[in-house]
Amino acid sequence: MTTTTAPPAASTPSGAADPGRPYRRSPLTWIREHLLAAITVVVFVFMLAPNAVILWMSFNQPIGKFDYDWNRFSLSAWKNPCATNEMCHSLGLSVEIGLIATLVSTALGTMIAFAMVRHRFKARSGINSLLFLPMAAPEVVMGATLTALFFNTIGPGSLGFWTITIAHIVFCLSYVVVTVKSRLAGMDPTLERAAQDLYATPLQTFMKVTLPLVAPGIGAAALLAFALSVDDYIITAFTAGNMETFPMYIWGSVQRAYPAQIDVIGSLMLICTMAIIALSQILGRARNARR
Amino acid sequence: MSSNDVLGRGTGGDLRLAGLTKRFGSFTAVDHLDLTIPQGSFFALLGASGCGKTTTLRMVSGLEAPSEGRIFLGDDDVTERKPHRRPVNTVFQNYALFPHLDVYENVAFGLRRRGIKDVKQQVADMLDLVELGHLARRRPSQLSGGQQQRIALARALINQPQVLLLDEPLGALDLKLRRQMQIELKRIQTEVGLTFVHVTHDQEEAMTMADTIAVMNSGRIEQMGSPADLYENPGTTFVANFLGQSNLIPGTVEGVRGDVVTVTAHGQRLTLPADRCRTDTGAVILGVRPEKVRLAPAGSALPPGVNALAGGVVSDASFIGVSTQYLVRLPSGEELAVFEQNTGCEIQRPGTEVVVHWDPSQSFGLDGSQDIEAGADLDEESAA
């Protein structure tokens, strides 16, 4: 793909100053005008190419156990998305843990965010930095410390579903707090005063004014928490015992086999995410268009 | 209606503040305020930012709890009542319209919270009153500043509160729109007959709309009265300087004869009516508004009985169409402001020697122990 032509051998330094010749723009000008667009396209290709490859390879009929090389088009992986029982079981486990972790961390994190933004108390700034710790700490360290914690409190045999869930809630919490907090901080506190002034009880003020205004932040936080939980590998591996979540299954399967179904599941997740985003935008636009 | 009983409405009556005080740590924002605002009046609390006027308003609405004192609505003590239990509504400075609700639902908010099901007619009537019926389904973000202001007013008025509080309601509007809304607000107040308590730092806004103005300064009421009262007969240097502009001349009381007080200032004898002078011995500050002062060429004959200060030199003259504003430097070094209406008289050039004179009945006398500069620069500061 060529984007530019070579500059002409004898280009006039300033074509516009010469009235005898038709005006010719310098190729440098062309580049300058299109550089931003070109870089934008490159960045998007760079970001989206892996997703495109996953979608493409999900239609492959692999030779042998590994879906790495393109062979020929086939729908067999899509028709039979559960390649093995373990794979779909591990996916179910991941979704289950993801939902519980999202629910608990969103509820807890939203409450923490309200406390941090709305109330002035002694240890506020200290707690604020502590909340950042799970985000800042390396995952390996977090995983190792959590294993040590579980070993020394509830014993080595207890690692499994609930230890994974607890670990996920721990690291999701920070992200939820940060997301909801920023939304809440951007909200005008006079709105709640106005509601009280207009006869709303504290509960009505929360339900009719505060919650609807903070809801987009809470929704975004929940989505983020779910995404973080479903694809976590490192901390999960430390706390899973003999359970196997979907990311762990994929990691393990790289050594045994890599069925095209993994790409099918990946594509499905991608499509679901895009559908959710598109839906929320359409709903938002429809609401704004209503007069 | 039962909802009216819940809010304690129906008894009617004046808004009365008794010894109302609010302290924030060691800072006293509102200092033992005693005030009665008659039912149905348009009352303005005027003061510079930080004088305690907004804190007073918030205590009346219940959004701030007083440190001391009581608040009465008619015979009811509402001091302990939560904001949602008071028959008082506020128009906030930034309007505080709910961005997730449309205009209609914003206006209906108060009625719905009180459990009133059929709001349609009332909301329509109220939107007609503020002339925005056609925008019922718009979001607040789709409205102009002036429209938002009117919706905020409609949202408060629809509840027919016993007292409507307005917290600098026109501050965010441009000058032309502000003038228009001042007239509009006054019209609506006359139409609905509710008590309006209006907080502002804009003295012109307060004078245009209010029946009664209370000038506040550091948590206390400096002076209260009708706009004309405050302007013509200010009681302190703060009021004289904050409300309009004043020429204040320090002097000494020479004596009181009948209803005339004689004062010496800069070696010249000046007089003023005794009922406009707040001290009868010692130091006095004699005041006169710039538009009451006239200029005469040096040495010309003056009308009999006027107060005159000779030996002044015009140091600045700015022609602004309807009037010419002069600064006249007196031999003492003091500068007096003089506004001369454009009635065809000759404009005095800077450097001209003049005599300033005025009708003695237009001067006022203040206690000489005060700071002569009090309140002089506050107006511009808070307006900026």
The domain of A37 spans 20-77
Question: Any chain A CB within 8 A of the CB of B155?
Answer: yes
Neighbouring residues of A167: CB distance < 8 A, sequence distance ≥ 6: A142, A143, A146, A235, A236, A238, A239
User: What's B207's domain CATH number?
Assistant: 3.40.50.300
So what's the pLDDT on residue B286?
Answer: 92
CA distance A244 to chain B (A): 44
Q: Check if the beta carbon of residue B166 is closer than 8 Å to that of residue B199.
A: yes
Question: Any chain B CB within 8 A of the CB of A213?
Answer: yes
Q: Are residues A113 and A175 both part of a single domain?
A: yes
Q: Which of A201, A213, A288 sits opposite B84 (nearest CB)?
A: A201
So what's the pLDDT on residue A20?
Answer: 56
Question: Any chain B CB within 8 A of the CB of A188?
Answer: yes
Q: Are residues A56 and A165 both part of a single domain?
A: no
What Rg, from alpha-carbon coordinates, does chain A have? 27
Q: Are residues A61 and A111 both part of a single domain?
A: no
Q: Are residues A61 and A160 both part of a single domain?
A: no
Residue A159 lies in a domain: yes
Strand (E) or helix (H) holding B248:
strand B247-257
Q: Are residues A154 and A181 both part of a single domain?
A: yes
Q: Are residues A68 and A98 both part of a single domain?
A: no
Q: Are residues B44 and B188 both part of a single domain?
A: yes
Question: Any chain A CB within 8 A of the CB of B269?
Answer: no
Residue B379: pLDDT over 70: no
The predicted-structure confidence for A67-84, as pLDDT tens digits, reads as follows: 778 888 888 888 888 867
Q: Are residues B119 and B219 both part of a single domain?
A: yes
Q: Are residues A132 and A64 both part of a single domain?
A: no
So what's the pLDDT on residue A10?
Answer: 46
CA distance B384 to B379: 9
Q: Are residues A50 and A91 both part of a single domain?
A: no
Question: Any chain B CB within 8 A of the CB of A287?
Answer: no
Q: Are residues B124 and B247 both part of a single domain?
A: no
Residue B357: pLDDT over 70: yes
Which one, of A140, A139, A159, A136, lies nearest residue A149 by Cα? A159
Q: Are residues A72 and A136 both part of a single domain?
A: no
User: What's B267's domain CATH number?
Assistant: 2.40.50.140
Residue with tokens 């620069």: B377
Chain B hits for A204, CB-CB cut-off 8 Å, are 113
So what's the pLDDT on residue B2?
Answer: 38
Given 3-state DSSP classes, what are the helix, strand and coil percentages for chain A, each rounded to the nearest 5? Answer: 75, 0, 25
Are residues A196 and B138, on separate chains, in Cβ contact within 8 Å? no
Q: How many domains does chain B have?
A: 2
Which one, of A169, A158, A160, A147, lies nearest residue A98 by Cα? A169
The predicted-structure confidence for B24-67, as pLDDT tens digits, reads as follows: 988 999 999 999 999 989 999 999 888 889 999 999 999 999 99
DSSP A215-245: HHHHHHHHHHHHHHHHT--HHHHHH-TT---
Share of chain B above pLDDT 70, in %: 95
So what's the pLDDT on residue B196?
Answer: 93
Residue A9 lies in a domain: no
Q: Which is higher by pLDDT, B136 or B344?
A: B136
Q: Are residues B249 and B204 both part of a single domain?
A: no
So what's the pLDDT on residue B384?
Answer: 37
Chain A hits for B63, CB-CB cut-off 8 Å, are 193, 196-197
Q: Domain ends where: B232, B247, B274?
A: B232
Q: Check if the beta carbon of residue B295 is closer than 8 Å to that of residue B343.
A: no
3-state secondary structure A81-124: CCCCHHHHHHHHHHHHHHHHHHHHHHHHHHHHHHHHHHCCCCCH
The predicted-structure confidence for B241-299, as pLDDT tens digits, reads as follows: 998 889 999 999 998 888 889 999 888 889 999 889 888 888 999 999 999 999 988 88
Q: Domain ends where: B175, B208, B232?
A: B232
Chain A hits for B83, CB-CB cut-off 8 Å, are 193, 196-197
Q: Are residues B167 and B187 both part of a single domain?
A: yes
Question: Any chain B CB within 8 A of the CB of A198?
Answer: yes
Q: How many domains does chain A have?
A: 2
So what's the pLDDT on residue A76?
Answer: 82
Q: Are residues B154 and B207 both part of a single domain?
A: yes
Low-confidence ranges of chain A (pLDDT < 50): 1-17, 291
Are residues B89 and A196, on separate chains, in Cβ contact within 8 Å? no
Question: Any chain B CB within 8 A of the CB of A190?
Answer: yes
> How many Å separate Cα A16 from the centre of its chain?
51
Which one, of B280, B354, B289, lies nearest residue B317 by Cα? B354
Residue A287 lies in a domain: no
Residue B380: pLDDT over 80: no
Q: Are residues B168 and B258 both part of a single domain?
A: no
Q: Are residues A69 and A140 both part of a single domain?
A: no
If you count them, how many residues does chain A have? 291
Are residues A194 and B98, on separate chains, in Cβ contact within 8 Å? yes
Neighbouring residues of B183: CB distance < 8 A, sequence distance ≥ 6: B208
Q: Is A140 helix (H, G, I), strand (E, B) or coil?
A: helix
Q: Are residues A180 and A245 both part of a single domain?
A: yes
Q: Check if the beta carbon of residue A132 is closer than 8 Å to that of residue A116.
A: no
Specify the DSSP class assigned to residue A157.
G
Are residues A196 and B82, on separate chains, in Cβ contact within 8 Å? yes
Q: Domain ends where: B170, B201, B232?
A: B232
DSSP A45-71: HHHHHHHHHHHHHTTB--SSSBTTS--
Q: Are residues B190 and B292 both part of a single domain?
A: no
If you count them, how many residues does chain B have? 384
Token readout for B153 is: 């007013």
Chain B hits for A189, CB-CB cut-off 8 Å, are none
ipTM, two decimals: 0.78
Q: Are residues A183 and A220 both part of a single domain?
A: yes
Residue B316: pLDDT over 60: yes
In this structure, the strands spanning B163-167 and B88-91 are parallel
The domain of B115 spans 2-232
